[in-house]
Amino acid sequence: MTQMQARSQGRPTLEMVAAAAGVSRSTVSRVVNGSPNVTSEAIAAVQSAIETLGYVPNRAARMLAGRRAHAVALVIPENTAKFFADPFFAAVIQGVAQFLSTTEYSLTLLIAADADAKKTRYFLQSGNVDGALVLSHHIDDHSYSSLSQEIPLVFGGRPMSFGGTMPHYVDVDNVAAARSATERLVASGRKRIGTIAGPQNMAVGIDRLEGWRQALRAHGIDDAVAEIGDFSPTSGEAAMQRLLAREGAEFDGLFIANAQMASGALSVLREHGVKVPHDVGIITVDDDYFASSAKPPLTTVAQPTTEVGEKMAEVLLDLMAGKDVPRVMELPTRIVERASL
């Protein structure tokens, strides 16, 4: 029977594969589900029959038989506007998807704003996925604080709001990244160094502010010139307006916690006739479109965002397989020199 003839008879079934391979239905099922208790001859016969018939395993039936969904969820607790505006999320998703494409697992993306948290949690607990990844976690978000006790769970970035054992997470050392960026400003001769920090209800915002402070303390530089944003370009604009309006807040260098805020801050500096890097040197984090297309292009700390996504997926699948993996994985960063410093 040719492949075209087989398909003309309707969707191939497990029984049709068994008949074509000359084996029992249970043998076909074992081959499809990767059981080791099958001879090499039977595996070859079943695989040949599957290829000839164009058989596609019924995923729902496999889920019921093995009590596995063969799917993982990526949860992003942000509103859709922020999700689509931030290239960081796209890069992490790309990494997760690249890794999962080499496995039998599919990816379910859940953009879960506060109002959807309970619904999202119920979805994760109801057997729809075998494990979950959580990205962009906030200190006041308790929706996922105990979920790691119920399903395998890996966070992208150091998670917040955990009173017990820290869940598994993949990140960069944000304190060290901010400290090295600020040290780069000091090395360039800047004496009065301010910051526009990220939101203080997220570990990444807290840690990057701490790294800036550590570097300044090490050099005896005052750390009073600081404003807070929410990682968006508009918040960078507003924070820069506040810095310029503050009496006595002189600065010749700025560490800005991400490139989106830095791009917004640059537009305000241009409006006020402040030249970068002649009057103010700037260094930021994230080697993305906002950094490379800024005027001038921004010197930045590049974090391996796609690799973070890949490693998150790898750790999750290892947990699902019962492997012993480290609770914390930190990937290296590097400084990309451009024209803002």
Tokens encoding 216: 């300044």
Query: Are 101 and 157 part of one and the same domain?
Result: yes
Q: Is residue 341 part of a domain?
A: no
Report CA-CA distances (Å) from 215 to 186, 201, 208, 252, 261: 9, 22, 11, 16, 21
How far apart, in whole angstroms, are the C-alpha atoms of residue 251 and residue 192? Answer: 5
Contacts for 17 with CB less than 8 Å, ≥ 6 apart: 28, 46, 49, 50, 53, 55
Query: Are 168 and 278 part of one and the same domain?
Result: no
What pLDDT is stored for residue 147 in this prediction?
78
Q: Is residue 337 part of a domain?
A: no
Mean pLDDT of 117-135: 84
What pLDDT is stored for residue 66 in this prediction?
53
What total of structural domains would you count in the chain?
A: 3
What pLDDT is stored for residue 2 in this prediction?
42
Query: Are 287 and 326 part of one and the same domain?
Result: no
Parent domain of 317: 71-172+306-332
Instruction: Determine contact, residues 296/276, Cβ cutoff 8 Å.
Output: yes
Q: Which of 66, 89, 108 is the last residue of a domain?
A: 66
Q: Is residue 339 part of a domain?
A: no
Q: Which of 45, 66, 87 is the last residue of a domain?
A: 66
Number of H helices, E strands in the chain: 14, 12
**How many of the other CB atoms lie within 10 Å of CB of 204?**
24
Query: Are 178 and 159 part of one and the same domain?
Result: no
What pLDDT is stored for residue 172 in this prediction?
97
Mean pLDDT of 133-162: 81
Query: Are 256 and 232 part of one and the same domain?
Result: yes
Query: Among 75-79, 96-100, 311-315, which is the least confidently predicted range?
Result: 75-79
Average pLDDT in the chain: 88
Query: Are 289 and 181 part of one and the same domain?
Result: yes
Structure letter (DSSP) for residue 148: G
Q: Which of 66, 92, 109 is the last residue of a domain?
A: 66
Q: Is residue 338 part of a domain?
A: no
What are phi and psi for residue 188, nearest 5 degrees? -80, 0
Q: How confident is the model at residue 1 (pLDDT cuts 50, 70, 90)?
A: very low
Tokens encoding 4: 């075209």
CATH of the domain at 281: 3.40.50.2300
Q: What is the CA radius of gyration of the chain?
A: 26
Query: Are 113 and 185 part of one and the same domain?
Result: no
What pLDDT is stored for residue 42 in this prediction?
87
Query: Are 295 and 206 part of one and the same domain?
Result: yes
The pTM is what? 0.79
How far apart, in whole angstroms, are the C-alpha atoms of residue 279 and residue 253? Answer: 8
Read off the pLDDT of residues 244-292 as tens digits, 9 standing for 90 and up: 999 888 999 999 999 999 999 999 999 999 999 999 999 999 999 999 9
What pLDDT is stored for residue 116 in this prediction?
67
3-state SS, residue 240: helix
Q: Is residue 340 part of a domain?
A: no
Mean pLDDT of 311-321: 96
Tokens encoding 198: 């990220």
> HSE of 133 in the Cβ direction (CA atoms, 13 Å)?
31
Q: Is residue 221 part of a domain?
A: yes
Instruction: Determine contact, residues 168/227, Cβ cutoff 8 Å.
Output: no
Query: Are 220 and 153 part of one and the same domain?
Result: no
What pLDDT is stored for residue 137 in this prediction?
80
Instruction: Determine contact, residues 301/333, Cβ cutoff 8 Å.
Output: yes
Contacts for 12 with CB less than 8 Å, ≥ 6 apart: 6, 53, 54, 55, 56
Query: Are 133 and 180 part of one and the same domain?
Result: no
What pLDDT is stored for residue 64 in this prediction?
47
Burial of 265 (0-12, 13-18, 19+ CB in 10 A): buried
CATH of the domain at 14: 1.10.260.40
Read off the pLDDT of residues 45-56 as tens digits, 9 standing for 90 and up: 988 888 888 876
Q: How confident is the model at residue 164 (pLDDT cuts 50, 70, 90)?
A: low
Read off the pLDDT of residues 20-48 as tens digits, 9 standing for 90 and up: 999 988 788 777 766 667 888 888 898 88
Q: Is residue 182 part of a domain?
A: yes
**How many of the other CB atoms lie within 10 Å of CB of 200?**
11
Read off the pLDDT of residues 165-175 as tens digits, 9 standing for 90 and up: 788 999 999 99
Query: Are 243 and 265 part of one and the same domain?
Result: yes
Mean pLDDT of 81-96: 93
Q: Has residue 59 got a pLDDT over 70?
A: no
Q: Has residue 61 got a pLDDT over 60?
A: no
Query: Are 296 and 183 part of one and the same domain?
Result: yes
Q: Is residue 113 part of a domain?
A: yes
